[in-house]
Amino acid sequence: MARRKRRPLVPEAREELDQLKANVMKKQGYKTDPSNPDSVKYEVARELGIPLNDDYNGNLTSKQAGKVGGNIGGNMVKEMIRMAQENLNKRG
């Protein structure tokens, strides 16, 4: 099965989103490769004991896949909220 790449609503934002992912996960203590920020998901999966592979992962449960993606995405959302609050505090 081909790997599906989610597209951001604003395609021009891809590079910044990848950089945000790398920075957020680095703050969480993960080794990140800025040129390939998706590689951090394998380290997250390994830490959680989830058998994530480079190719086919149809054997994973939704719960397992959600733990990996949720860990990464959840931390990214928390960072974006922190950045927005910081920006609002600067204005007010």
Q: CB–CB of 24/40 below 8 Å?
A: no
pLDDT tens string 29-49: 998 887 888 899 999 999 999
The token duo for 89 is 């505090």
pLDDT tens string 1-34: 445 567 788 989 988 999 999 999 999 999 888 7
* Helix extents (H) in the chain: 14-27, 40-48, 62-91
Other beta carbons less than 10 A from residue 25's beta carbon? 23
Say whether pTM exceeds 0.95.
no
pLDDT tens string 71-81: 999 999 999 99
What's the pLDDT at 1? 42
Q: CB–CB of 25/74 below 8 Å?
A: no
Burial of residue 58 (number of CB atoms within 10 Å: 0-12, 13-18, 19+): exposed
